[in-house]
Amino acid sequence: MKLPIFIADAFTAKAFRGNPAAVCLLENKLDEDMHQKIAREMNLSETAFIRKLNPSDSFSQKNVNSTLTFVTLSGELKARKAEDGIILDLPLYPAHPQDRHEVKDLIKTAIGDTLVQDIRYSPDTRKLLVRLSDTYDRSFLENLKVNTQDLLQVENTEKVRGLILTLKGEPGGQTHAFDFYSRYFAPWVGIAEDPVTGSAHTVLSSYWSQELGKKDMRAFQCSCRGGELEISLRPDGRVDIRGGAAVVVEGTLTA
């Protein structure tokens, strides 16, 4: 069996930055075990399998539509091409105030005595958002050592499946100003740190829009690879997240 496969770096215009993901094109349905074997072979945070809904569809035919709709296990995902990247149409998830006492052990384990300004929780995504003190800057967040190895041992954290650390931006302090910064950790699902995370920004967008009073924002995820995202909240309660993409590998998988 030979399958076309690609590796694309998302939320960047440069190779070896942003979020690397494998994309495998399927003419026919594979069983779940084969999906898992291919994903393990690729050894990336995400491996997507794209299968035609209709036998007459063609992967080689040029798409004439500006928007593509993917039917995924998490629901419909719409993507449209922009002049300078790709725009993802995603739901917007609110984050509610979180009792600090309930998560103090988790936060202490993750970041020690780092000063925390706000804590929110998104029940829809099971993500805990921790805003660091405004006294810190981008370099502090980038260099912060986060103890993800011990997070799985913290008791009473069953509702958390992702930890977002975020920091207010420095509009006057960068050549390319950003409204906020973030990092994302999900050891509960096997990801120590994700390079760039679209789903985390469905929560971050809601939070920072309220905090900053803005509908359009620029964000930077401060992983070692780094990723830039342009965010626009829509009147229908959804959010457009735009980023670049660079295909760095194109080949054939033999199984």
Both 250 and 169 in a single domain? no
Burial 193-226 (b: 16+ CB within 10 A, else e): bbbbbbbbbbbbbbbbbeeeeeeebbbbbbbebb
User: Catalytic pick from 41, 46, 170, 193?
Assistant: 46
Residue 73 or 225, more confident: 225
173 belongs to a structural domain: yes
Residue 170 belongs to what domain range? Answer: 96-243
pLDDT at 176: 67
Both 129 and 235 in a single domain? yes
pTM above 0.85, yes or no: yes
Answer yes or no: 46 catalytic.
yes
**Tally of domains in the chain:** 2
Both 222 and 172 in a single domain? yes
113 belongs to a structural domain: yes
Q: What is the pLDDT of residues 155-171, one digit of tens each?
A: 988 999 999 999 999 86
pLDDT at 60: 76
90 belongs to a structural domain: no
Confidence of residue 82 (pLDDT cuts 50, 70, 90): confident
| CATH (domain of 203) | 3.10.310.10
Beta carbons within 8 Å of 10's beta carbon, 6+ residues apart? 18, 19, 20, 21, 86, 196, 198, 227, 243, 244, 245
Percent of the chain with pLDDT strictly greater than 70: 96
pLDDT at 69: 83
Report whether pLDDT(146) > 80: yes
74 belongs to a structural domain: no
